[in-house]
Structures are given as C-alpha cells and as structure tokens.
C-alpha cells in the first residue's frame, strides 16, 4: 500500500477511536446518602461505618452521612427521595407505612422498602440518683426528657408511659430533646430523668454515668406484654453503665435499615451485600451491632423487601 494510503488509513482509525472516546457514556457517580440520628446516639456511628463500607465496595459510590432526628424524619426523607438508606425503629416503620398522622406521618409512606432487620433498641429510662426515682410510678411530677418531638424515641415514650398509666400531663415537666442535650440538662440538675431508645452502651448515657450517679429504671415484663408487638421483654445487663450494679428488665424494639422503591435493584443488592459481608466493621463501630445476624435479616419486616435485598437473601438461603 502506498505510504500516503497508509497515513490516511491510520488517521481514519484514530478519528474513529477519538469519536468513540468522546461519545462513550461516562459511568455516573452513585450517590448514597445514609440517614442516621443524633451524633450522640447509635445510628450515627453505625451510619458512618456503613458509608465507609459502601464507599469501598459499591462501584463509583459517592457517600454521605446525614445526622437527623432519627426514625420519623428518616422515613419522611426517604419517601421524598432525599436519601438512599436509613435507620429506623420497627414501630415507627410500621406506623409510617400505614400513615399514622399522630406519629408524624401525614400520609402512608408507600415507597418504603426493606433492606434488613439489624439489632434491637433498648428502651432505657435513666434518672439521677438524687431525683428519688426508682420505678416508673416515681416519674409522676418529675422533669423528664422523652426524645425529639415525634421521633422514634418519643413514640416509645408514649407507649411505655401509657402502659404504666402515665400521660405527659402527669409529669412535672416534659422536654423534647435529643440524647446529648437531655444528658447536659441532667448534669446541671435541670432534668430528673431521660428516656432513650438506643443500643446498649449508648454514648450519651455512658457520659451521664461518668458525671453523676444514676439509676436505671426497670420496665417490668408484664408491662411490656401489655404494650405488645413490636415490643419485647429484654434486659440491660449489669455493668452496662457506670454504677449499674444489677441487671435491669426493660423493653426492646428491633431496628431496621430501609430504602425506597426508586433505588435500583442493583444498588439495593450492593448495599445489602456490603452490609452483611462487612458487618464486622459495624460491630467494631458500636457494640450494639453485635446482635446483627444474617439469619434474622428478613424477619419481622413491616414493609415489603426491596427486590435487590430479596435477591441477596435468596442467594444466601435466608428466605
């Protein structure tokens, strides 16, 4: 072939290659916003660990962690498409899917889809030792923080206090505060007690116990039975917090990770797989995650499983 012909052939091939490079679609970034809770709770450190896992295991993932007022806000944000995965309490999830306005849901959140059942939240009622509070009945007339307004914790407070025959009107003062703020007021003798729904060993209560003598208030098993599903009887083991010398009976509610129906099957599968194949990183981030077990991941889900999560569990023989 003449030299000029070879040059034209090479130039043409380069032009085709260049055109392909220009017009080939670039792989889009995959945004994963993890909706958590207050920074002094358990959801937040677990969310940070989860975002790190996804950043390392999901191709082209760009992750972020959002601190929120937890369950109720998280579910409303998911319904609006303002997040890809969120932590929530089981009772909040059931009420949100149904659309319970009193619980903070103006309409049924029908876009919610399940990823996994994770670990139980323990309803932990803690008073300062000098408050004179030893039982639920002793809360009458006292200053109590019940969690952020219409949060999962506050829904738990309504349920537990109601089963004990107490309403907010029976308390001396009600504060609607996140965990850390509640503890600060207790340290300053401006509050007598706080109800916190979280995994065992939550940082806020550990901080309180390190500052002032505390009393962990029992929630008897018969009262838990009166509240009913999804509450179950549980125990806060002795030594969970400084100065707690004995086991304390309480109630627990399972936590879930959820997403929404606009998240692709591929991403939901990748998030579910990343969660369980790197669960040790979550357990290292907070002791509450030690109760996470793959065989329980699809049990008791109050909303439909996302098809991507369902695919993973079928592969693992969980379903």
CATH of the domain at 203: 3.40.190.10
- Residues 259 and 113 placed together within one structural domain of the fold: yes
- Residues 78 and 180 placed together within one structural domain of the fold: no
In the prediction, which pLDDT does 27 show? 54
The answer to whether the beta carbons of residues 101 and 159 sit under 8 Å apart is no
Specify the pTM.
0.80
In the prediction, which pLDDT does 129 show? 96
The number of distinct structural domains making up the chain is 2
User: Is 15 within a domain?
Assistant: no
- Residues 39 and 84 placed together within one structural domain of the fold: yes
User: Is 6 within a domain?
Assistant: no
Among residues 217, 236, 253, the one where a domain terminates is 253
User: Is 7 within a domain?
Assistant: no
Of the candidates 176, 207, 210, 202, which has an alpha carbon nearest to the alpha carbon of residue 191?
A: 176
- Residues 152 and 106 placed together within one structural domain of the fold: no
Of the candidates 203, 184, 197, which has an alpha carbon nearest to the alpha carbon of residue 241?
A: 203
The answer to whether the beta carbons of residues 255 and 119 sit under 8 Å apart is yes
- Residues 41 and 161 placed together within one structural domain of the fold: no
Residue partners of 25: CB distance under 8 A and separation at least 6: none
Residue-number span of the structural domain to which 43 is assigned: 30-119+255-315
Give the Cα separation of 89 and 121 in Å (integer). 8
Q: Which two tokens stand for residue 126?
A: 């803690």
Per-residue pLDDT of the chain (319 residues; tens, 9 = 90+): 554 455 554 444 444 444 434 444 445 689 999 999 989 889 999 999 999 999 999 999 999 999 999 999 999 999 999 999 999 999 999 999 999 998 999 999 999 999 999 999 999 999 999 999 999 999 999 999 999 887 889 999 999 999 999 999 999 999 999 999 999 999 999 999 999 999 899 999 999 999 999 999 999 999 999 998 889 899 999 999 999 999 999 999 999 999 999 999 999 999 999 999 999 999 999 999 999 999 999 998 999 999 999 999 999 999 8
Among residues 253, 275, 292, the one where a domain terminates is 253
Residue 158: Cβ within 10 Å count: 17
The answer to whether the beta carbons of residues 284 and 49 sit under 8 Å apart is yes
- Residues 128 and 238 placed together within one structural domain of the fold: yes
- Bridge partners of 91, per DSSP, are none
Give the Cα separation of 257 and 85 in Å (integer). 7
Give the Cα separation of 84 and 303 in Å (integer). 16
- Residues 290 and 192 placed together within one structural domain of the fold: no
Give the Cα separation of 256 and 115 in Å (integer). 7
SS3 readout for the chain: CCHHHHHHHHHHHHHHHHHHHHHCCCCCCEEEEEECCCCCCCHHHHHHHHHHHHHHHCCCEEEEEECCCCHHHHHHHHHCCCCCEEEEEHHHHHHHHHCCHHHCCCCCCCCEEEEEEEEEEEEEEEEEHHHCCCCHHHHCCCEEECCCCCCHHHHHHHHHHHHCCCCHHHCCEEECCCHHHHHHHHHCCCCCEEEEEECCCCHHHHHHHHHCCEEEECCCHHHHHHHCCCCEEEEECCCCCCCCCCCEEEEEEEEEEEEECCCCHHHHHHHHHHHHHCHHHHHHHCHHHHHCCHHHCCCCCCCCECHHHHHHHHHCCCC
- Residues 35 and 134 placed together within one structural domain of the fold: no
Q: Residue 226: is it exposed, middle or buried by C-beta count within 10 angstroms (0-12/13-18/19+)?
A: middle
- Residues 233 and 170 placed together within one structural domain of the fold: yes
User: Is 23 within a domain?
Assistant: no
């Amino acid at each position: 072939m003449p030299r000029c012909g070879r040059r034209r052939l090479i130039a043409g091939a380069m032009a085709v290659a260049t055109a392909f490079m220009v017009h080939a679609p670039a792989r889009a970034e995959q945004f994963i916003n993890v909706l958590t809770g207050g920074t002094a709770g358990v959801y937040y450190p677990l969310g940070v660990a989860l975002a790190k896992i996804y950043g390392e295991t999901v191709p082209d993932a760009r992750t972020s962690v959002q601190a929120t007022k937890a369950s109720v806000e998280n579910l409303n944000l998911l319904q609006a498409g303002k997040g890809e995965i969120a932590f929530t309490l089981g009772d909040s999830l059931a009420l949100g899917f149904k659309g319970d306005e009193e619980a903070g849901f103006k309409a049924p959140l029908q876009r919610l889809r399940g990823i996994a059942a994770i670990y139980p939240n323990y309803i932990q009622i803690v008073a300062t030792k000098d408050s004179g509070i030893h039982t639920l009945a002793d809360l009458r007339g006292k200053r109590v923080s019940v969690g952020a307004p219409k949060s999962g914790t506050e829904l738990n407070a309504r349920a537990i206090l109601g089963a004990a025959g107490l309403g907010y009107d029976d308390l001396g003062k009600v504060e609607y505060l996140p965990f850390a703020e509640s503890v600060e007021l207790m340290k300053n003798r401006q509050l007598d007690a706080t109800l916190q729904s979280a995994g065992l060993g939550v940082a806020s209560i550990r901080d309180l116990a390190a500052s002032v003598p505390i009393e962990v208030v029992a929630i008897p098993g018969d009262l838990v039975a009166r509240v009913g599903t999804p509450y179950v009887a549980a125990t806060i083991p002795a030594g969970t917090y400084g100065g707690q010398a004995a086991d304390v009976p309480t109630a627990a509610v399972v936590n879930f990770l959820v997403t929404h129906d606009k998240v692709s099957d591929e991403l939901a599968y990748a998030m579910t797989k990343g969660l369980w194949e790197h669960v040790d990183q979550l357990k290292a981030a907070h002791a509450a995650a030690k109760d996470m077990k793959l065989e329980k991941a699809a049990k008791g889900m109050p909303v439909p499983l996302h098809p991507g999560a369902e695919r993973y569990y079928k592969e693992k023989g969980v379903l």
